Every structure is written in C-alpha cells, then in structure tokens.
Amino acid sequence: MQKGYILSLESDAWLFHADLLVDKAHVVMLEERGIISSEDAAAILNGLAKIAARGRDFVERELPAYEDVHTAVESVLIREIGEEVGGRMHTGRSRNDEVATCIRIAVRDELLGLAEEVNKLRRALLKRAAENVETVLPGYTHLQHAQPTTLAHHLLAHADAFARDFARLEDAYGRVNACPLGAAAFASTGFPIDRERTAELLGFDAVLENSMDAVSTRDFVVETVSCYANLGTNLSRLAEEVILWSSAEFGFVRLPADYATGSSIMPQKRNPDYAELVRARAGTVFGCLVAVLSICKALPYAYNRDLQEVTPHLLRAAKTTAASVAVVRGVVAGQEFREEEMRRQAEVDFTTATELADTLVRETGVPFRTAHKIVASLASAERGRPSLRKIDEFATCVAGKRLSELGLTEEKVKEALEIASNIEKREVKGGPAKKEVLRMLQARRSDLEVDERSRVAKEVKVKRRLEELEREVEKKRIMP
C-alpha cells in the first residue's frame, strides 16, 4: 500500500481553517432548512468547535492519518460525537464542492493579503519618487545610455506596473469569490439545500451556478497564478535593476543592510541576495503556472483527482509572491540612492543627442531624419560637446547646409546639451518634466487611496459575513 501517495498534506493544512468555515455554514443551512434537527446541528457545531480549538495540534496529529482534511474533520467529528449525529454533517454535499469552496476561501484571503502588500509597495515607490523629483538619472534602452530622465519618473514607472498588478488581482478576486458549495459531486443534490444562504454565510459575492462547472473548474486558479506570474515579472525587473544599480559598475544604489548579505570569504562584500531571490522566485511562480495549466488541460468533466494536485502549486505561488512583494518593498524603502553618481552618468555617452536633433528641427526647419543624420555623424566622430561651428561642419557634409545660416544659435545648442533642459522640455503627458511628474505623483496617490479603500471594503464585507456566521453558529450550538 502506498497510501501516502494520494495525500496533499501541505495544502490540506492550508485549507483547514476554510474547511471548518464550510462545515459550519453547511450545518447552519441544513438546520435552517429542516434537513437536520436542531439537536443534531448543535452537537455537530459543538464538535466542530472542539476540533477548531485544537488548531495546529489537529493539523499535526490528525491530518496525516486521513485521505484529506475534509475526511479528517468528518472522521474525527464522528469519532467524538458518534455517527448517528456526526454522520449527518455531509448530507447534501460532496468533497468535490467542499474542496472547491475551501480553495476559493483560502485563495480569497491570499488575494486580499497580497493586494495589501502590493499597495504598500506602491506607497513606498511613490514616497521615494516624491523625494527624487529632481534627481537626474540616465535612462537606458538596451542597457545603454539613452536619454536623461529623473529617478522619480523611473520609480513612477514601476509604481504604474504595480497598480496594474493590483487591478488584475482585484479582477481575479471577483471571479474567485463565487461559491461552488451545493454542487455536491457535480449533479447537485435532491435535498432542499439553500445555496444562496451558504454562499452568503461564507462571504461569497455569488453562487457559482452550474453544479458541474462549479466542481470541475480550476480556471480561477489559472487566473490567480497568472496574476502572480505577471506580478513576479514586474518584481523581477525591479529586482534586476537593484542588482545592477548596486554594483560598482553602476554605483547608483547602496543596499539597505537588512537586504544585503556578506560573503563567507570576501570580507568587503555586500551582496544583493534578496533581490536575486526575488528574480529567481518569479521563475518558481512561472513553474507553478505551467504546472496548474498542464494538470487542468484536457481533464474530462467533472471532478478528477488530478485537481488535488493543482492546490499545492497555487499555495506555493501565493506564498512565494507575497514574500517577494514584501522583500521588494523593504529594498525600495531602504535603499540609499547615490544622486551624484546618477547625475554624472546621465551626462555620459551623449544622452542629449535626441534633444540636439530636435533642436535642429525646431530652429532650422530641417526634417527630423536629416537632423538625426547630422547628429549621428557628429556623435560617431566627435567626443565632447559639439559647438555650433562643428555642427555646421557636419551639416554641410551630411546635408549640404550651414545650420547657423538657417537660424541655429550657439545659445540654442548649449541649451540642447543641458541635462536639466532636456528633462524640463519633456512635459507632454507622462513625460519626466517636474510639472508632469508632480501631477502624476498626485494622481497616483489618489488612485492608490481609491484602490486601498476598495480592497478594505472587500475585506470588511467578508469579515462581517463570517462574524454573522459565527453568531448563527453560537445560537445553534446551544442545545434546544
């Protein structure tokens, strides 16, 4: 016998709390509908309270002896209060709808918790951005110096990505928080159960209607883990920048002590291990997503035991993602930015070339493509700041024109080559100019408040409903 093969202890421990909620809501509803007597409901609810009180002890001692958490709770209940009464708890339901309901309850909590973490990260990014509206940064494309920008503009870019992650999590929540309970094995039940009532008691926003769909689908898991994977990608990109920026080659960042590690041999080391693991664990989460998709793919309806294998991947992805968000927030909040180094690098490699070309267009009316050719030939031949005389030389060569004769002045050239004026000119919507960055900062702050309020409202709604469930349970626990 290989009984251990069919267990999934880790995710069953994760579902323990949810399983007790589902049991309680189901028993309350069975009693309300007259499917079981008030006496039996009271005895079952008292038995469940004893199991709940055992907490970790139950999980550690009892769980491993049974096929899964649902069987463990029911079996121990029957052991304690006898089958004549305890054997009525599972009336009108199946482990198939039970487990699907438990997973949705557990993942709903994970989603709300993660969304809170994401919002804290957004807040940390907005704070660091506000401190760095004037901090000049070389912007990169292909990891080569491209154009000057500001650190605030850069950090706001990451904050916007995490705002979309929040929106995705919230959207997923809407589809997660629907209740499969009452679908039973897949064909529902002939008992006059009330699916709306259990859904309400458990804090769900809706009943997942078609009973076959309700037990068969794990698309909410695919969707949730997809959100994690997307978020993981965004986290890994920020982490990668921390890794690069904290290197001697960049020297833009000093890692916070709590998020840097030493070396067992090299005494001088301050390694970005935390950021590296954020980068790596995005990969772990992608693995979970591929596992979930692969397990669900081509399963015939309705329930198959394969679905049990999905849950540990969901759990791993949820915990991994939440931990990574918290780490990235710590790094963002605590890292020390080296502004002088950023400013120094912002000048390197002719980052003002685009603005110079734009200036040629504005001042002389040459087409942008011609201006591009002139500045490109200058950039590849010249080191240092080009003068008006040099520009004329190259323009004559490339375009047969002397731009000073067409209105280009020494002053305009000088302005084009100034980092500050490069940034300030880029004041179109979403650009790095101070005015625009301040506007975005303000807008993002208020978006964040709206998002956090909407998240808290969901949390409060669930909490209230579960308190209502507890009140019903307490009423019914008193033997009539």
Structure tokens at 90: 């599972």
Residue from 307, 314, 328, 353 in contact with ligand ARG (CB under 6 A): 307
What CA–CA distance (Å, rounded) separates 353 from 344? Answer: 16
Catalytic residue among 142, 264, 380, 446: 142
Smallest gap, in angstroms, from Cβ of residue 311 to ligand ARG? 6
State yes or no: residue 22 binds ligand ARG (CB under 6 A): no
Q: Residues 355, 416: contact at Cβ < 8 Å?
A: yes
Q: Which of residues 38-77 bind ligand ARG (CB under 6 A)?
A: 68, 70
State yes or no: residue 292 binds ligand ARG (CB under 6 A): no
- Strand 206-207 and strand 178-179: pairing? parallel
What CA–CA distance (Å, rounded) separates 311 from 459? Answer: 23
Residue from 24, 90, 93, 95 in contact with ligand ARG (CB under 6 A): 95
Residue 206 sits at φ, ψ, to 5 deg, of -160, 165
What CA–CA distance (Å, rounded) separates 40 from 17? Answer: 22
State yes or no: residue 16 binds ligand ARG (CB under 6 A): no
Residue from 3, 142, 305, 429 in contact with ligand ARG (CB under 6 A): 305
**Look-up: residue for tokens 């079981």?**
36
Smallest gap, in angstroms, from Cβ of residue 301 to ligand ARG? 13
Amino acid at the residue 423: I
Q: What is the DSSP string of 422-456?
A: HHHH--STT-SSHHHHHHHHHHHHHHHHHHHHHHH
Report the half-sphere exposure of 250 (CA within 13 A, side-chain side): 23
Smallest gap, in angstroms, from Cβ of residue 138 to ligand ARG? 52
Q: Is 263 a catalytic residue?
A: yes
Closest CA to 13 of 87, 65, 63: 63
State yes or no: residue 3 binds ligand ARG (CB under 6 A): no
Nearest residue (CB) to ligand ARG, 11 versus 135: 11
Closest CA to 161 of 455, 442, 444, 449: 444
State yes or no: residue 96 binds ligand ARG (CB under 6 A): yes
Nearest residue (CB) to ligand ARG, 311 versus 351: 311
Q: Tell me the window of 92-100, 130-138, 156-164, 442-450 that interacts with ligand ARG (CB under 6 A).
A: 92-100
State yes or no: residue 101 binds ligand ARG (CB under 6 A): no
Q: Is 142 a catalytic residue?
A: yes
Smallest gap, in angstroms, from Cβ of residue 104 to ligand ARG? 13
Nearest residue (CB) to ligand ARG, 63 versus 360: 63
Q: Helix, strand or coil for residue 140? A: strand
State yes or no: residue 147 binds ligand ARG (CB under 6 A): no
- State the binding string over 419-448 for ligand ARG (x if CB under 6 A, else -): ------------------------------
Q: Residues 436, 429: contact at Cβ < 8 Å?
A: yes
Q: Residues 224, 52: contact at Cβ < 8 Å?
A: no
Catalytic residue among 247, 263, 294, 454: 263
Q: Tell me the window of 221-229, 253-261, 306-314, 395-403 that interacts with ligand ARG (CB under 6 A).
A: 306-314
Nearest residue (CB) to ligand ARG, 297 versus 305: 305
| CB neighbour burial string for 69-84, b if at least 16 within 10 angstroms, e if fewer | bbebbbebbbeebeee
- Strand 178-179 and strand 136-141: pairing? unpaired
Closest CA to 51 of 87, 14, 78, 12: 78
Site residue total, ligand ARG (CB under 6 A):
10
State yes or no: residue 308 binds ligand ARG (CB under 6 A): yes
State yes or no: residue 200 binds ligand ARG (CB under 6 A): no
Nearest residue (CB) to ligand ARG, 132 versus 308: 308
Q: Which residues bind ligand ARG (CB under 6 A)?
A: 68, 70, 95-96, 99, 303, 305, 307-308, 311
Active site residues: 142, 263
